[in-house]
Structure 1
Amino acid sequence: MTDNLVLVERPRPHTALITLNRPERMNSMAFDLMLPLKSAIEEIRHDNSVRAVVLTGAGRGFCSGADQKAAGAIPHLEGLTAPTIALRSMEMLDEVISAFRRLHQPVIAAVNGPAIGGGLCLALAADIRIAGDEAYFRAAGINNGLTASELGLSYLLPRCIGTSRAFEMMLTGCDVDAHQAERIGLVSHCVPGAELLDYCYDMADRIAAFSRPGIELTKRTLWSGLDASSLEGHMQAEGLGQLFIRLLTDNFEEAVAARAEGRPAVFRDKK
């Protein structure tokens, strides 16, 4: 446990479960929750026993976005004026989104309920999204008289579901239910809510069984591909990663031998 508002557990070997634990406020993004979430991410990043991460919310919600009643405050604001406090606060929230991307381990969002506004951004910061059948998604800024663009949403959402659907979600503030989210590619799968965590744990187990550098480099190249300015430059980065593992480990030979012998591969990540 990192804080009573953010729980960190080990439901299975090599898997860390992060639970946003503010169910009475639908796990809204008060700074009292976001600060320990940022700390939990940093701790897991350096925990080499963790091979995959599952992120979920306690109770009926995944994350309902900004807390409009009790947002809390970040530290080190003494002597600052309101505009600078607002900038520092937004910077801290941005750092949480970026921290998920910087994690060595893949992150699976187990979206168990509403993912609204910043909660949608948290789900998009994960590498894989699985929805329980009670989940729904909303880009809520426009409903609140603001821009819907926040915490990387206007960058991540079009890359996830395409421009037309992203424009529709962000300009109309509509709700996208779990089944529609699966259909448009916002989530990989929609499963019954009672099965959601076990489904994500099974996926984490599958990931954990592969080569650690293979998984880490795959995550890096997938994210860098979203930023790539050219196919040629990105293919060079992919090729270097492939060569790195091929030359410095016996993983390829082990995979070939395991298939020939009809057994699971055991990757040692070394020569």
Structure 2
Amino acid sequence: MSQSETVVIERQADVAHVCLNRPDKHNGMNFEMLDAVNDAARTLAKDRALRAIVLQGAGPSFCAGLDFKAVFNAPLAAAPALAQLWLPYANRFQRWSLGWRDIGVPVVAAVHGNCFGAGLQLALGADIRVARPDARLSVMEAKWGLIPDMGGVALLRELMSIDQAKRLTLSARVIDGREAERIGLVTHLADDPLVAAAEIADEMSRYSPDAVAAGKFLLQEAWQSSESQATAAERKYQRRLIGRANQRISIERNSSDADKPFRKRRIDS
């Protein structure tokens, strides 16, 4: 589809594979990769024919976190980056993970090797995480005297209890894929997470693209909400689906053997 030096996007039919591409650095995030990932999310959000996304890393790791040497050796770029902390909305760094939640298709991360800090927060932005049993994962910011500030806290709270999140965050401990699955940090384990991620992406994108998008946005909006807010969200998204073209096609598909194609459109969040 397109590519930059640090992020390569390949389109396989209606699935986009977004690959971090600094393999010699274990895909450590520098400013170029940060912007390339954010650009990829914005571009793919506009693609109405897209049905799923797989996030992956080239080389020995998914993403080993922030490349501190590259970032702090660029003071002219680091200064405006620091100013992002004073913005009253999700900043450039937080969009690294949160941007994937705004796309109305399933996003599946295939995790192998090291998945630390910024890398883990990127994986958390996916809807599903598939990891190798021997993958190494860590909320590592405390090691560098920092906290996770790339959307990670907003995403961790959906997956685990606060005591589990505190243990990960305050200790910077490295856990393997098996323990990550046990505590809910990853969804599935697979010896070949890329193959498994593609299969899951296909499974989650077979039905009406409007229903898939609405289901994703509904769960994200309602999961931490009150009962009244959650039921209001149900009503809102159902109004956007019922009686529309893709819902009628869904009924026709289930009433006959015809595999009528869905309209290439999706609702917005």
For the aligned pair, the TM-score class normalised by the smaller chain equals 0.7 to 0.9
Q: Which residue of 1 aligns with 2:267?
A: none
Q: Which residue of 2 aligns with 1:157?
A: 156
Give the whole-Å Cα distance in 1 for the aligned partners of 2:259 and 2:227: 32
Q: Residues 208-265 of structure 1: CA distance to partner in whole angstroms, max 9, x if unpaired?
A: 211000011011111112442x11221121133224322223145235425xxxx586
Give the whole-Å Cα distance in 2 for the aligned partners of 1:9 and 1:197: 14
> What SS does the corresponding residue of 1:159 show, helix, strand or coil?
coil
Alignment of 1:74-223 (within 5 A): 82=79, 84-88=80-84, 91-146=91-146, 148-192=147-191, 195-223=192-220
Q: Which residue of 1 aligns with 2:37?
A: 37
Give the whole-Å Cα distance in 2 for the aligned partners of 1:204 and 1:74: 40
| Residue 103 to residue 252, structure 1, CA distance change in 2 (3 Å) | closer
Q: Does 1:54 find its partner at 2:48?
A: no
1:47: Cα distance to partner? 1.5
Report which of the two has the higher share of helix: 1
1:269: Cα distance to partner? 5.1
Q: Which residue of 1 aligns with 2:233?
A: 237
Give the whole-Å Cα distance in 1 for the aligned partners of 2:114 and 2:32: 20
| Residue 242 to residue 267, structure 1, CA distance change in 2 (3 Å) | farther
Alignment of 1:4-43 (within 5 A): 4-10=5-11, 12-43=12-43
1:161: Cα distance to partner? 1.7
Across the aligned residues of Structure 1 and Structure 2, the Cα RMSD in angstroms comes to 2.5
| Residue 106 to residue 73, structure 1, CA distance change in 2 (3 Å) | farther
> What SS does the corresponding residue of 1:233 show, helix, strand or coil?
helix
| Residue 7 to residue 57, structure 1, CA distance change in 2 (3 Å) | same
Q: Which runs of 5+ in 1 are unaligned?
A: none
Give the whole-Å Cα distance in 2 for the aligned partners of 1:161 and 1:255: 38
Give the whole-Å Cα distance in 2 for the aligned partners of 1:15 and 1:231: 35
CA contact (8 A) 2:53 2:201 kept: yes
CA contact (8 A) 1:130 1:191 kept: yes
* Counterpart code for 2:37: L
Q: Which runs of 5+ in 2 are unaligned?
A: 265-269
| Residue 169 to residue 265, structure 1, CA distance change in 2 (3 Å) | farther
Give the whole-Å Cα distance in 1 for the aligned partners of 2:93 and 2:165: 22
* Counterpart code for 2:235: G
* Counterpart code for 2:122: L
> What SS does the corresponding residue of 1:108 show, helix, strand or coil?
strand
Give the whole-Å Cα distance in 1 for the aligned partners of 2:258 and 2:16: 23
| Residue 17 to residue 264, structure 1, CA distance change in 2 (3 Å) | farther
Give the whole-Å Cα distance in 1 for the aligned partners of 2:218 and 2:151: 19
